[in-house]
A and B are shown apart, each in its own frame.
Chain A
Amino acid sequence: MDEPLAITLFSGTDDRLSAAAVLIAGAAALGRPVHVFLQYWALDAFRFNAAGRRTQLAPEAGEAGAAAVEALRAAGQASWRETLAQAKEIGQVEIQACSLSMDLLQLAQDDLDPLVDGVEGVTAFWLAAGAGQVVFI
């Protein structure tokens, strides 16, 4: 299976990024090339030394959800950053920052986690996505 997959990450909450990292690592394990595009708050979460260290959750998590997430973390679940690092190790995973979001957050590539391969505009993203599936999280 080598159908390419393009994933746009918009949300920067820890739970959504964890779920996205699981999807990306699974696709990489199956040999599917994955192109990841970081926009808005997801890009903010990829700041150097911050990636994988936040605990903010989506509003629907509530208190019980937050406790469940914390319990899984305490049991040794890999952070989304570790999961993405492994995904890059086993497969073809490219992570690109959205140039508009770089402007919005006033970031330079040096400000970002080394997992981020570069900066691109939306046209380059769609070109990379080609005719493959696109997922927005």
Chain B
Amino acid sequence: MAIEITQRLDARNLSCPMPIVKTAVAIKGLASGQLLEVVATDPGSTKDFAAWAATTGNQLVEQSTEGGVYRFVLRKK
């Protein structure tokens, strides 16, 4: 089943904590259940997004790394 991304956020070349900060801003604008895709290059992203999702209750539904770019799909709580 293809998942439907509601919004995309390009956080590449932003240093910590801006990828998470911009993600927090972007997810505010979504309705519960909608999906946000984020791409980032900050090397702390993998741990940071997992910790942020676990703490805020938003769900990390997909995660991948390719060529130094980290991609996350988050479902709004």
Contacts and interface: CB of A to CB of B under 8 A. Distances in A.
Nearest to B19: A29
B25 A86 contact: yes
B18 A83 contact: yes
Give the size range of B's interface with the partner: 10 to 19
B13 to A, nearest CB: 7
Contacts, number: 47
A26 B15 contact: no
A61 B16 CA distance: 20
* Majority-rule SS of B interface residues: helix
B56 A25 contact: no
B30 to A, nearest CB: 14
Given A1-B55, A30-B52, A31-B56, A89 B13 contact: no
A57 interface: no
B2 interface: no
B17 A25 contact: yes
Contacts of A31: 55-56
Contacts of A129: none
6 contacts: A25-B21, A26-B17, A29-B17, A29-B52, A30-B52, A90-B28
